[in-house]
Amino acid sequence: MAKSKGTHSRRKRTRNAFHEVKGKIVEGVEIKPADHGYGLGIMFQDRTYLSFDVEIEPRITVKPELSDWKTGNYKPLKRWRTIHS
């Protein structure tokens, strides 16, 4: 019988990458209370905004979204799948 090497985890990897913001320069970051938790937002110098709406109860839920604020108005660019704890 072959011996198991045991070098790989059997757990599914849950890595979330936000390639659309790679290389962008951050202008500011804010954390603010939201309806059911908190909101984390990152404004970039090109006036795009990456936001994370974080709900804490009964489990942690994160809703990532990239939006455009160049005109001063909200314009959604991309929403990623919701992340649950």
Q: pTM of the predicted model, to two decimals?
A: 0.65
Position 65 in a domain:
yes
Position 36 in a domain:
yes
State the residue range of the domain holding 73.
25-84
Position 33 in a domain:
yes
Position 47 in a domain:
yes
**pLDDT, position 9:** 52
Position 76 in a domain:
yes
**pLDDT, position 64:** 92
In tens, the pLDDT along 10-68 reads 555 556 788 999 999 999 999 888 777 888 999 999 999 999 988 877 888 889 999 99
Domain count, the chain: 1
Position 10 in a domain:
no
Position 60 in a domain:
yes
Position 6 in a domain:
no
**pLDDT, position 22:** 92
- DSSP assignment of 21-73 equals GTTPPEEEEEEEE-SSEEEEEEEETTSEEEEEEEE-SSS-EEEEEEEE-TTSS
